[in-house]
Structure 1
Amino acid sequence: MKAISLIISILFLTSCHINDPRPEIHRAKVNIVGNTICVTIPDTKNENISLLSIDEIGKSNSEVEKQFTIENAPQLYADKCLPNFGFSFEPGRLYVFSINTIRIKDNHTAVNGNSYGVTFSVWVDKGQLNVKDIN
């Protein structure tokens, strides 16, 4: 009887994530390209941006958030800089850059894609802009 209870408990614990509708969370990458901050995702499987947000940590009025519909959701490409919509990154600050994605089906419906995010710091050293992923 103890063995059956143990097996049932293990099955419940290991199967709790099956059919979970929430998007998977993946790390984005941040680096400098042409003296500009560039956030990229390592891989994409036919995804479009549904929500993009950039927040400066500790400064609630320094943020941008863009929501998109199926009709205007930008396509994602692996290792291509994500749009920042003119957000101004300042040296000496910390930022959180995150996006949620959707997958648009042929019948113009959408299903959840993945979530990507990176937290990073920005600074200038010897006149050069630098970033550091602090996840």
Structure 2
Amino acid sequence: MPVPRLRVARPTDDLAAVLRFYRDGLGLTELYAFGGHAGFDGVLLGHPQAPYHLEFTHQPGHRVGHAPTPDNLLVFYLPDAAEWEAAGQRLRAYGYAPVPAYNPYWDERGLTFEDPDGYRVVLEQAEWQL
């Protein structure tokens, strides 16, 4: 059975700031961008061979606000210590400092960063295990 592809989509009030965080800071690839599509601008980010991507959209004149809680997370599992360290350093270089995780579990082997909309990204230095 083929593995389904996953798109996580959410709106933002500041598409440029979100691009700076996820593309430039986190290092995701810009896969596609669009403007003025049915009143929305947006971008899809991810890795070309990954079975997921993130879509961020902005509708001019519409306010979406801040994340509902500090426990709204995207978790990236980076088992290679050098890759994990590089990802954290890249975010720091763009001015994003780690924040304490709402759930202390994520502080055990991870770093948590807050994006411009208040959503959090955890860089977990571990294999993904179920």
Q: TM-score, length-normalised on structure 2?
A: 0.25
The structure with more strand, counted as a fraction of residues? 1
Q: TM-score, length-normalised on structure 1?
A: 0.25
The structure with more helix, counted as a fraction of residues? 2
